[in-house]
Amino acid sequence: MYKQTEDRRSFLKKMAILSAVTTATAMFPGILFAEEQTKSLPAGDLEWKKAPCRFCGVGCGVKVGIENGKAVAVKGDPNSTVNKGLCCVKGYHAVISMYGKDRLTKPLVKKNGKYVETSMKEALDLVASKLKETRDQYGKDSVSIYGSGQWTIPDGYVASKLFKGCLSTNNVEANARLCMAGAVTGFVTSFGMDEPMGCYEDIDHADVFVLWGNNMAEMHPVLFSRMLDQKYKRNAVIIDFATRTTRTSVAANKSILFQPQTDLAVANAICHEILRNGWENKDFIEQNCNLNKGLTNIGYGLEDKFKFKDKPEPISFEDYRKFLEDYSPEKVEKYSGVSAKDIKYMASLYGDPNKKVTSFWCMGMNQHTRATWINNLVYNIHLLTGKISTPGNSPFSLTGQPSACGTVREVGTLTHKLPKGVVMNKKSREFAAKIWGVPESNIPPKPTYDTVEMFRALDRGDIRFMWIQVTNPMVSLPHANRYTEGAKKEGRFVVVSDIYPTPTTDVADVILPSAMWVEREGLFGNSERRTQYWKKMVEPPGECMSDTWQIIEVARRLGFNEQFPYKEETHVAEIYNEYRQFHDNKKHNMAPLEVLEKEAGMQWPYVDGKPTKWRYNSKYDPACTKEGFDFYGKPEGKAIIWQRPYEAPAEVPTKEYPFWLNTGRVLEHWHTGSMTRRIPVLHRAMPHAYVEINPVDAKRLGITDGDMVLLTSKRGQLKMPALINGRGLPPVGQVFTPFFDENMLVNKLTLDSYDPISREPDYKKCAVRVEKA
């Protein structure tokens, strides 16, 4: 009966809308309504529900079409300001990723080398008892959890609460360490607070876009399309500054190639040129910046138990000017491969007071043995010219995972982090302990292992129990051989929660089937500080359970009922409301769930019912305490200009290994491809990995397109087909290969060197030999 009235009501409502739209169309021919565009689709009986896209960090709003309890279609949400109704090919086919034939639907337990199906109850019992047993036998820091930026906010929150708050270990890490850590330390060292000051709306205002090692046409296609729009409609200029020629280069106004690692020198050269011409914004620097230098020759983190701590020291502007003397465009030209003319051209774009400049970057700068430095250096350019925190002027670090910001960076699922503040800080510990309902002494004051070190510890046996959720480290870790072997060692207990079998589930002792994306309720946070909420839309298959609920179940089995009192029906709301208390201040307030339910996402800081689009600028940011700019993360409200030199990468080509190996992604596949490869359209478009070789090198080595090529590094060998003049073109002496293909696992070759400050590995530079197989 109720349903009937409900139907009648919604029918009448539709009628009311329809008549209003018809009237409006009669009055203003050509008028368009977002909702109408939505309705013009061949919907049948589809019911469209909103969610953020499952894949990258852009955070497109999508609408998922549901029919008979199955997700059958996706379209861009025209109400979302992120993508304005457009998706990329991955987003459009996202729902298919839930229906792969080999979906894990039952828990599997390894018995005598074979996986045996069991019930969820038994599997969780086993996980809890093994965790307890390991902890009792080997100590608090012998158990760990490893997640990713694909964790929803509640997933990450309960993981941190259980491990840091209840189990008293800081062994909480996430894939974001391999992806965003350099951006985080870049922000924190320059501004004292994580995450971008600007937002995607900068694209609509900027006159110039500089892409720092960022193939946006393939990796952030929706934002790239928004940029192209501006190129054709407003004559905005796109500069692609990269190490190889890609789809982005051909669409850009200008493509500038540099030699790996020399972006450090070029960024300094741009600053040199800005100062030489007097293009710096003196008032801005005077009022809003301090200058620092840090340690140099900081190493590469290749050794086990590597330690490093930077020592910032104030310097004067004259010191800085003097430091830059080594970076004249003419000097930098010699080793960067970028002509002095091109460096001067880039400097002139940044230096022109009448041009608004937005810089974009992602893995090129973050997966870099000097990730923190290069982030600092790009901020320097924006700070010297005062082009920051105003519409169109934005140094913008993009993300690759849907909630790298929302979960890993904001909830803080990294060894040193708490939802607010860091474990080293007593006040932060007290604050967290109070909200979590645990004694302050529970939270250890010392960070333990970063991601690479965590897997090294598992290999060494310092860690004995690891729970891996929603990521695929045996494909995504650099030097993956060592860590795969390490995880398989006797006396290690590895639990993997995932939706499909992967090389990571292959090393698991227990495999827990997870509910993914719209099979459960959740929240993601994208790169522009936008939090997005979605409801459960379809039932997960078999015994699949959300990662949040898996952790809660285990926590209760460990006796933490009091800390995990949530009800199954309302747990996401309860957890989110609890979590919001951490950020209850003008600098980070998050929108309440009621608002997120209605809107296609909302940006934080959300103050007085309004999102903040540009932080640190009193015109837009209510947290500012002084007129103009206030970089309130740092003392005196002043951002830091860092003196950071060029330093060579950890491994360079030699006679034996004469090629640079660069790795990355492709448009069609997301991360390790465990979802996108199960989407037939995407798999057919990109069935396997390949190695891009410059035609000059190929000719010399007698390799033609499609030939099998043997790549050898100090760490391993791999055969893959050559791609010559395909979608990317590396310069002579360099090769590129995508990392998604578990059957051609390029991370067996990559080097596990990392940036000592952020501890993020460099996947973009190592040396290989290339031969025809």
Partner 1 sequence: MKRLFILLFFALLIIAAAMIVANSLRATNEDAYTPIIEPVDDEYTILPKEQGVFERAKYATDYENLPYDIPGERDLSDYYKTQAYHGAPPYVPHPVSDDRNIGDGQCLQCHQNGGFVVIYDAYAPVTPHPEKVNCRQCHVTKETNSLFKASNYERLEAPSIGNKALVSSPPVIPHQLQLHENCLACHAGPSAPKEIRVTHPERVNCRQCHVVNNLEVVPVPDFTRKSE
Partner 2 sequence: MPIKSYIAYPAEGKRQELINTLKKFEECEVIPSENHDIVIVITETNSKEEEKVFEARLKEVNSLMMLSMVAGFDTN
**Positions that interact with partner 1 (CB under 8 A):** 41-44, 46, 65, 72-75, 86-89, 92-93, 95-96, 101-102, 217, 221-222, 224-225, 228-229, 232-233, 245-247, 249-251, 259, 330, 333-335, 337, 501, 667-668, 677-687, 694-696, 725-729, 731-732, 742-743
Q: Classify the C-alpha dihedral 287-288-291-292 as positive or negative.
A: positive
**Residue 15 interacting with partner 2 (CB under 8 A):** yes
**Binding residue for partner 2 (CB under 8 A) from 20, 116, 696, 708?**
20
Question: For residues 59-78, which are near partner 2 according to CB under 8 A?
Answer: 78
- 3-state DSSP call for residue 719? strand
Q: For residue 21, state whether it binds partner 2 (rule: CB under 8 A).
A: yes
- Shortest distance, CB of residue 340 to partner 1, whole angstroms? 10
Name the active-site residue from 198, 294, 351, 400: 400
C-alpha 764: how far from its chain's center? 16
SS3 559: coil
Shortest reach from residue 458's CB to partner 2, in Å:
50
Q: How far apart are CA 180 and CA 220, in angstroms?
A: 15
* Binding partner of 41, given partner 2, partner 1, none, CB within 5-8 angstroms per partner class: partner 1
CA–CA gap between residue 582 and residue 718 (Å, rounded): 47
CB distance 91 to 489 below 8 Å: no
Q: What value does the CA radius of gyration of the chain take, rounded to a whole number of Å? A: 26
Task: Assess 8 for contact with partner 2 (CB under 8 A).
Answer: yes
619 binds partner 2 (CB under 8 A): no
CA–CA separation, 406 vs 248, rounded Å?
27
Rule CB under 8 A: choose which of 305, 321, 427, 598 binds partner 2.
598
Q: How far is the CB of 330 from partner 1 (least distance, A)?
A: 6
33 binds, among partner 1, partner 2, none (CB under 5 to 8 A by kind): partner 2
Among residues 3, 30, 166, 439, the one that binds partner 2 under rule CB under 8 A:
30
Alpha carbon distance 596, 531 (integer Å): 8
Instruction: Rounding to the nearest 10 degrees, give the CA dihedral for residues 434, 438, 444, 448.
Output: -100
DSSP label at 409?
A: I
CB atoms within 10 A of CB 259: 17
Active site residue 532: no
Task: Please give the Cα distance from 773 to 693 (Å, whole number).
Answer: 14
Planar angle of CA 599, 175, 143, nearest 5 degrees: 115
Name the residue nearer to partner 2 (CB basis): 13 or 699.
Answer: 13
Told to judge if 400 belongs to the known catalytic residues of this protein, a careful annotator would answer yes
Q: Residue 89, exposed/middle/buried by CB under 10 A (0-12, 13-18, 19+)?
A: middle
Q: Are 728 and 691 in contact (CB under 8 A)?
A: no
Specify whether the CB–CB gap between 403 and 153 falls below 8 A. Answer: yes
CA 274 to chain centre: 31
| Residue with smaller CB distance to partner 2, 37 or 441 | 37
Quick count: other Cβ atoms within 10 Å of Cβ 215? 27
Minimum distance from residue 459 beta carbon to partner 1 (Å) = 20
φ, ψ of residue 625 in degrees (nearest 5):
-110, -5
Name the minimum Å distance from CB 88 to partner 1: 5
Specify the residue for token string 């913008």. Answer: 396
Only one residue has tokens 């080999």, namely 102
Residue 667 interaction partner, one of partner 2, partner 1, none, beta carbon < 5-8 Å per kind: partner 1
Q: If residue 711 lies in a helix (H) or strand (E), which one and from where to where?
A: strand 708-713
Q: Which among partner 2, partner 1, none contacts residue 35 (Cβ within 5 to 8 A by kind)?
A: partner 2
Catalytic residue chosen out of the listed positions 53, 56, 179, 197: 179
30 binds, among partner 1, partner 2, none (CB under 5 to 8 A by kind): partner 2
Least separation in angstroms between residue 502's CB and partner 1 is 8
Per rule CB under 8 A, is residue 13 in the interface with partner 2?
Answer: yes
Scanning 12-20, 52-60, 510-518, 746-754 for contacts with partner 2 by CB under 8 A, the matching segment is: 12-20
**Residue 714 burial (CB count, 10 A):** 15
We find the least distance from the C-beta atom of residue 396 to partner 2, in angstroms, to be 24
Helix (H) or strand (E) holding 114: strand 114-117
How big is the site for partner 2, counted in residues (CB under 8 A)? Answer: 26
Of the residues 1, 2, 5, 44, which one makes contact with partner 2 according to CB under 8 A? 5
Residue 34 sits in the site that holds partner 2 (CB under 8 A): yes
Q: Map the footprint of partner 2 across residues 75-104, applying CB under 8 A.
A: 78
Q: Tokens at residue 306, please?
A: 């590597």
Rank residues 14 and 427 by Cβ distance to partner 2 and give the closer one. Answer: 14
Question: Is 346 one of the catalytic residues?
Answer: no
In the 8-state DSSP scheme, what is residue 406?
I
For position 32 contacting partner 2 by CB under 8 A, the verdict is: yes
Among 16, 250, 696, 732, the residue binding partner 2 under the rule CB under 8 A is: 16
Q: What is the closest distance, in whole angstroms, from the C-beta atom of residue 245 to partner 1 in the complex?
A: 6
Catalytic residues, which ones? 90, 179-180, 363, 400-401
Residues within the interface to partner 2 (CB under 8 A): 5, 8-9, 12-13, 15-17, 19-21, 23-24, 27-28, 30-37, 78, 598, 609
